[in-house]
Amino acid sequence: MATTTALSQLKLTAAAKPQSTSPAAARRHKLSKRIWEQMELAKSQVSGTAFVCKKFRTITDTDGNRRSVELPKRVRPWWFTGEQGQLVLQIHYGSQVLELARGKTAVEVSDTKALVTTLQVVHTAVMAGELDTQIESAANTLKSRF
């Protein structure tokens, strides 16, 4: 009688973890995290609740001991009300506004509910690599300032 083990039910493979990620993938991931923050901020605005994102900061107390504390992170919205009263969304990489198409740096959105959907579409485009050249250009501009 043949016995089946739990591991025989799985698809096993020989895989190695990559030692480093490409710079483009790292930039995509960084922008993806910021877009997630914006989506959560927009969802909280629609539902009327407060969105608080946390960050860790290392502080030194009066005795000289270093410890890590969790503090609220300020998340500034990427959207604003335009001149004609419409809701306008700009995508930021650091302090740079990304150019989504030639000469176009913003997306016009009908309301805050559509804002979440628009951010999801932008997130999908970022993860597909559609904005890699714009992200690289913004990253190089930011690097040149240092």
Residue 64 falls in which region: left (phi positive, over 0), alpha (psi -120 to 50) or beta = left
Burial annotation 33-63 (CB, 10 A radius, 16+ → b, else e): ebbebbbbbbbebeeeeeeeeeeeeeeeeee
Which pLDDT belongs to residue 6? 80
Domain boundaries, the chain: 23-49+76-144
* pLDDT given for residue 39 in this prediction: 92
Question: What's the farthest any 2 CA atoms get from each other in the chain?
Answer: 78
- Helices marked H in the chain: 23-47, 112-128, 132-144
HEC sequence for 106-121: EEEECCHHHHHHHHHH
pLDDT at 78: 92
Digits of tens for pLDDT over the chain (146 positions)?
556 778 888 888 888 887 888 888 889 999 999 999 999 999 998 888 888 889 999 989 888 899 999 999 999 999 998 888 889 999 998 888 888 888 888 899 988 888 999 999 999 998 988 888 888 888 888 888 88
pLDDT tens-digit profile of 100-127?
A: 888 888 899 988 888 999 999 999 998 9
